[in-house]
Amino acid sequence: MVSRVYIESELRDHPRARRLLQRLHKLPVTEIEFYGEVFNPRAQNFRLQKKNPALIIARKNRGQVLAAPDGYGLGGDFNYYFSHMLNCIYDCRYCFLQGMYQSAHQVLFVNYEDFGEQIRQTAAAHPHRPVWFYSGYDCDSLANEPMTRFTEYFVPLIASIDNAWMELRTKSTQVRSMLQMEPVARVVTAFSFSDRFSHSKLEHGVPAIDKRVDAMRRLLDAGWPVGLRFDPVVYHRDYQNAFVELLQQVFAKIDASRLHSVSLGSFRLTRDHFRRISRLYPEEPLFAQNMQLDNGIISYPLEREQAMIEFCEAELMKHIPAESYHPCEWHG
């Protein structure tokens, strides 16, 4: 939940903003000129703000669709991402969003139509070729769904563009809105999981694994393409047993042959993000583990990382067909 609302003055009469203000009518509202004047100042403490973040209702004026970073995605030739929100309602210690912005407030850009127009233009630039649009880069795609009604606009949009594909990435159980729609073969909902131990220690506020597996199964049963993301795999003393247990928990309810894609990657952050997050949480064991810098990325020493990935891959392959597997490649 959010504790207060900031709204750009010019959006007072925007239909989505009005609906949000009605929904959040009990919260204090502060008018601002531009979201950056609350979101960007340096004198903010992300850690303190994360305890009780505000919602900033804003308009994104340019750069609604951007090229995805190298290595992001499922191997398609044309990968883009867009962020209708900045920041996440969850508080996962390993997530790069912890160090991405000065502020922990959640920014919601309500000008969906401008995003839609850029998505159309971007897809049109690659005619007859599949173009992927990733929505879960700067936020959890679905976690705020009751408030954002993201899928209501973007799923039909993608369905209407023949060569557009979209990945929604989530740790939430908010699938009700999608279950009320006809499934779209080019909209993949990817659920991220960490093992039980990492979940309890590092994924603050994230729904229980079982509940997310149930949400995933409901989408699958309704005919939606669904993906699995075991990313990041975090090292701890019992990671092997915990990972095996996680796979058992997931595949007890999920028919692996029906999965769109499965990916796996170990914990990693860019050096800048690692520095910023570890300064915010100096007591966090995750950042005190043995790590190495490789090509601007901080991760486990190569030997440990290889051992982790080999073990997890081998276990994963006991459950899934090889063709649905997409390893997360990030080494240069």
Partner 1 sequence: MLIWVCALHCEAKPVIDFYRLKKSHDDNAFDVYRGDGMVCIISGTGKIASAAACAWIAAQNAREPALAWINLGVAGAAEDDIGKLFALDKIVDADSGQRYYPAPVVSSPLPARACLTLSEARQDYRDDCLFDMEASGFIYSALRFSSAELTRSLKVISDNRRHQTGRKRQQVSDLIQGNIEAIDIEATALLDLESEISALEFSAESWRQLLGMAHFTQTQKNRLRVLWRYLSNRDFSPEALLERLAQQKNAAGMIATLEQISYRDAEEL
Give contact residues for partner 1 (rule: CB under 8 A).
3-4, 6, 28, 30-33, 37-38, 41, 43-45, 47-49, 51-52, 54, 197-198, 201-202, 234-237, 278, 282-283, 285-290
Nearer to partner 1, 31 or 70 (CB): 31
Nearer to partner 1, 6 or 243 (CB): 6
| Torsion 97-101-102-104 (CA) sign | negative
Nearer to partner 1, 72 or 281 (CB): 281
CB of 278 to partner 1, least distance (A): 7
CB 322 within 8 A of CB 316: no
CB of 311 to partner 1, least distance (A): 16
What are the φ and ψ backbone dihedral angles of 322, each rounded to 5 degrees?
-60, -35
Beta-carbon count within 10 A of 318 CB: 10
Nearest by Cα to 171 from 186, 190, 154: 190
CB of 2 to partner 1, least distance (A): 11
CB of 186 to partner 1, least distance (A): 38
Nearer to partner 1, 98 or 278 (CB): 278
Q: How far apart are CA 82 and CA 123, in angstroms?
A: 13
What are the φ and ψ backbone dihedral angles of 31, each rounded to 5 degrees?
-85, 140
Nearer to partner 1, 32 or 222 (CB): 32
Cis previous bond, 232, omega within 30: yes
CB of 206 to partner 1, least distance (A): 15
Nearest by Cα to 258 from 321, 317, 202: 321
CB of 234 to partner 1, least distance (A): 7
Q: Please name the amino acid found at residue 92.
A: C
Q: Which residues fall within 8 angstroms of residue 141, CB to CB, at 6 or more apart? A: 135, 150, 168, 169, 170, 189
Nearer to partner 1, 144 or 198 (CB): 198
Nearer to partner 1, 4 or 149 (CB): 4
Q: How far apart are CA 37 and CA 148, in angstroms?
A: 22
Q: How far apart are CA 111 and CA 57, in angstroms?
A: 10
CB of 197 to partner 1, least distance (A): 7
